[in-house]
Amino acid sequence: MSVGHGLKLAAIGIDHGHIFGMLGNMLKEGCTAAQWWTADDWALPEKFQETYPDLERVADRRTILDDPDVDMVLIAAVPEDRAALAIEAMRAGKDVMVDKPGCTTLEHLAQIKAVVAETGRIWTVNFSERFQVPCVAKAEELVRAGGIGTVIQTIGMGPHKQNLSTRPAWFFERNRYGGILTDIASHQVDQFLHFTGSTDVQIKHAQVANKTLPEHPGMQDFGELVLQGDKGHGYIRVDWFTPKGLPMWGDGRLTIMGSDGYIELRKYIDLANGNKGDQLLIANGEGAQVIDCREMGLPYFARICADIHNRSQTAVTQDHTFRTMDITIRAQMQAEGVQV
């Protein structure tokens, strides 16, 4: 029997394309879904309906929240709105998987922490650049087995294409999307914490900028971050400078440097290897090789299903998710000169 058997899902907020990966991967684990709701109509609701024609769109999200059979709500609303929707869902007795960033302010995060403690519900943020990338799962295996010794540093790169003509208005509004570090760099902070094991982290440098879009003053197209943890160091760069000619939305990479070797993940495309994604490069005392990880599984989704059944934390701990968003939001504030 599949691990997701008996779990019923619903979707709230269809404002980001990550909802397709969230729902699609949960359905592969044997979960079911019947309904969805969203506040806004622009491009994605139509595509969502075409992709999942058997799901019913409801006019009022309370129809979903008041359904005692719904176990988990998946949320990919506008980033600013995600915290309130997650809180509402948890108070209605639902576990929540929310698209990154899980929230955009420290006030929102404090409210979420309080509601998790109050309700005992699961609040998991789908950091897709780790949870939905097979070569990251392979890197976890290799690091855990001591393949590169003790992890010393991670270098995370998160480049994206602008695709301005397809973007909704909220994409350009700082408070709505949360800032480039809060939004995109939450992926890289998650990976830094995961691979170094750091729990005490200092933000040594944080910067954001609008280099190319003066007509959109709320837009940030460049961000970088330097972290010093109790168990490792991290450098992060995120941007909206991926050229139109690249046959992929971004050339995301992660380098994990250890005491006895290093791993480089070419997640979505490798120009030197036939444009294939999920390529893992490793060099250590035994040699150097490239590992094609495209057939590697995605353990997060099976684990989160088990966590719903068992009230456990095998997919990702709640403290890790809280810490990731806390560091990311504080870095955004520091980069913008806001007193943290």
On whether the CB atoms of residues 35 and 97 are closer than 8 A, the answer is no
Confidence of residue 42 (pLDDT cuts 50, 70, 90): confident
Q: Is residue 119 part of a domain?
A: yes
Q: Is residue 316 part of a domain?
A: no
Q: How many CA atoms lie within 13 A of 194 on its CB side?
A: 26
In the chain, % of residues over pLDDT 70: 100
Identify the pLDDT of residue 45. Answer: 85
CATH number of the domain at 110, please. Answer: 3.40.50.720
- Is 113 found in the same domain as 89? yes
pTM of the model: 0.96
Tell me which residue of 97, 98, 95, 99 sits closest to 119, measured CA to CA.
95
- Is 189 found in the same domain as 172? yes
Q: Is residue 311 part of a domain?
A: no
3-state secondary structure at position 188? helix
Tell me which residue of 85, 76, 59 sits closest to 15, measured CA to CA.
76
Say if strands 222-229 and 72-76 run parallel, antiparallel, or are unpaired: unpaired
- Is 146 found in the same domain as 36? no
Instruction: List the domain range (segments joined by +) for residue 22.
Output: 8-126
Last residue of a domain, one of 93, 126, 159: 126
Q: Is residue 317 part of a domain?
A: no
The count of structural domains within the chain is 2
- Is 220 found in the same domain as 98? no
CATH number of the domain at 225, please. Answer: 3.30.360.10
Taking only the tens place, the pLDDT of each residue in 63-86 is 999 999 999 999 999 999 999 999
Residue 257 gets which letter from DSSP? Answer: E
Residue 121 identity (one-letter amino acid): R
Taking only the tens place, the pLDDT of each residue in 227-265 is 999 999 999 999 999 999 999 999 999 999 999 999 999
- Is 115 found in the same domain as 143? no
- Is 278 found in the same domain as 149? yes
- Is 292 found in the same domain as 181? yes
